[in-house]
Chain A
């Protein structure tokens, strides 16, 4: 054991001191020789004879030295290093090839590692909570899309928590927290913050500890205790990570609140539960009857008891839900459970799978391309090979050379790819405009590193293998035959290279079809009639302060605000709303007065917006019938309502809705106008029923946004509006204007993300495939210079030669495209979940791909064709 270890260490040591030890050995050997010579001379030989005898007896210095090296060192490493040195020399000599190879493989590996990092963060790595596998998202499946339908009341939550046996605990957060609900005033510029009220057990259930201070106490979560926890991001941004922050008092919405702690940076509420937003504060969520009366507003997360499964929990929840529904007199209550991880990133799984496959295909194309180049190089290196064989290089050594070169290339490329991946993930993690869950946690971690290394090794092996096999098959005879004057390239080698190019084209075709389908879907989404015009419109949060404590005061405040804003030159229209499109949603049931509803025939649920007059104009929502709201629709006038076309059709099919009565629990409202449907949920989803209540006739709103329509740039608009509002609102937060276009962009950002990446991949693939065609055709033109010369000498015109070569390229492209189109036809079905308004067999996409590939192939063939047509027959025949 010890001896073995000692020997290994000594051998490794010897390996690194080769020249020292060689010198030692030479000295030793020479004194041995001298002793031997002296001995022989003593026995009567003359000097010359003695030396000859000694050399015979002792053996040759060089051979023994070699053997000595082998015995004391690590022969395997020795040859490896020799091969590597040789490889580096060869690659340096062939600098343009090396640069190109490292570049394309580097790009491929960079793309793969970046995508892997995203997939790793979203699908593989567990959520940053304690034992995340046991966390379950508990939704109410009452409504399909709107938040009201997915959430539950305080009462239902408390009952479920008390009665469940499957969960060790269930926590909740207030799902209707408003973005920018909390206005921070005090020493600095006023700022709007977003705070999430959470139940007392929320953090303990997730297993998250504040990094500073403490979590909420039970008492704080019972009444209205003014305490807050800060998110790590907000603490860093606003307080420069001040360690003495605990105990400080902040002024939030004109009320003082004490900071009791700071959450760790590893806990990012927004990236898990509300991708694309920013959470600054956490507040205690009082589970009181007042909150209960607000209706469905809690989102729940449960932790399964050890041994319990989601399935059991689901069965139990199904049994519990009906009694709870009856007890609390809710219309809809059906607890629907899903593992939290699935809830967070499950929807992205298909898109990520597509990206992962795409990047894999890109890597295959890269490998095919490099294989091809290596093949061309082996063909060009036959002389070198022949010399090596003549010098006694074994076949194994020759075969090994290609994979060694490929591995060296791919490892260099991996270094480049790693740099690209690190840069790529960094950019991605900072791109706030993309609302991907867990986006901030995308980075190159050890798993990604291992993946990169593995990809590099695999790629190196794959693109080194074909040329290596070629060495075996080609051997020396073929090379002699092929190299003889005037003959064309060996059929076999040409066949392999053509196959590689065809497969490149086929792969590129698949990517192009996929990207094409998604791009067309994306364009369709952009083309969707939103129901409002986002261009030239901007919104600003203008919640009335706490001093406006009655409806009359608030209405006066709103009127004054609208009057002032409208007087700003350049502002065409202005209005107020409680929710902007593509944000939060709530729905109430809205029935027609003349209808009788029951549980089996419920009134439709409609999304609610509380708006002021001018809102429709500011948003650009077209009025279809009746009239807009006016400033006279106030508390003292008749209650009125605007509804959208879908609701109008649902309540009074085939009849004029204007003048009809919508009935609520409390009050009847007369429909005064019908407006166009607005896509409030997502661009891809239909609108559903919608209704607009006048802000002067209700108090049921928690935030107010001012929407203005103007041609002014955002910066000028902000200062103009701030100036106009200063007399009534001196502490208006700075830079809070959002254009509606931003809202739309954010809503489509995940789709844009996938489309851009896929488009990038397919362009890369197209470039590689065209290079493949170009390389092959160009090489064959070079090889056939003499043949072409003969043909031209015999009377073939330049045009003939040109079309022959282009046709050769087109034949390859046609074959590749045919295979690619057939494969895409089948594979595109897997995309159907990601498509919008386009079928997976969209003829335009397939035709477009066909045209693009043909044009690119023709062009890639044209360049060598032009060269072929310019061959001077005399020169061609005389050369070589």
Chain B
């Protein structure tokens, strides 16, 4: 497994999952993976299975909730939704992200000017 990719972006993946669930409401693993693939243009997930590693971690942290439901093709699937704590975390992470990217952005501009 090419771990470097997912290692670097692990924190980012958490944020992505949270944001996806926040924006789109309850989704099953396939839906989330699809969505992230579309948005990231396949940069994050080496293969879709790894999304479950992120999901179980977030569930254990209490940021998302999982419930058994039925998928479009009538199969048993787990639907994930963001929890209250997850929303809080999302807000904090988003703010942090904005700040970091702002700093990095300014820094890069600075070096470009020279």
Contact = CB atoms under 8 A, between A and B. Distances in A.
Contacts of A34: 73, 75
Interface of B: 1, 28-30, 33, 46-50, 52-53, 56-57, 59-63, 71-73, 75-78, 85
Given A59-B48, A59-B50, A68-B56, 20 more contacts: A3-B61, A3-B63, A6-B62, A11-B60, A28-B77, A31-B75, A31-B77, A32-B30, A32-B33, A32-B77, A34-B73, A34-B75, A35-B71, A38-B73, A58-B47, A58-B48, A59-B46, A59-B47, A67-B53, A68-B53
B70 to A, nearest CB: 9
B56 A32 contact: no
A429 to B, nearest CB: 52
A806 B62 CA distance: 71
Contact of A25 (B1, B52, B75): B52
Nearest to A25: B52
Contacts of A60: 49
A696 to B, nearest CB: 96
A441 B56 CA distance: 55
B76 A63 contact: no
B25 to A, nearest CB: 18
A7 interface: yes
A72 B48 contact: no
B73 A35 contact: yes
B29 A32 contact: yes
A291 interface: no
Contacts of A14: 60
A172 B59 CA distance: 72
A63 B50 CA distance: 10
A32 B29 CA distance: 7
Given A11-B60, A32-B30, A68 B52 contact: yes
Nearest to A55: B47
Nearest to A67: B53
A72 B28 CA distance: 18
A61 B1 CA distance: 13
A31 to B, nearest CB: 4
14 contacts: A7-B57, A14-B60, A27-B76, A28-B52, A29-B49, A29-B52, A31-B76, A31-B77, A32-B49, A32-B77, A35-B75, A61-B49, A68-B56, A72-B56
A32 B27 CA distance: 12
A63 B1 contact: yes
A36 interface: yes
Nearest to A9: B60
What 9 pairs between A and B have smallest CB-CB spacing?
A59-B47, A10-B60, A64-B49, A59-B49, A31-B75, A35-B30, A31-B77, A72-B56, A32-B30
Contacts of A6: 60-62
Interface in A11-51: 11, 14, 24-25, 27-32, 34-36, 38
Contacts of B50: 59, 64, 67
A24 B48 CA distance: 17
A3 B52 contact: no
A61 B47 CA distance: 11
B71 A31 contact: yes
B96 to A, nearest CB: 15
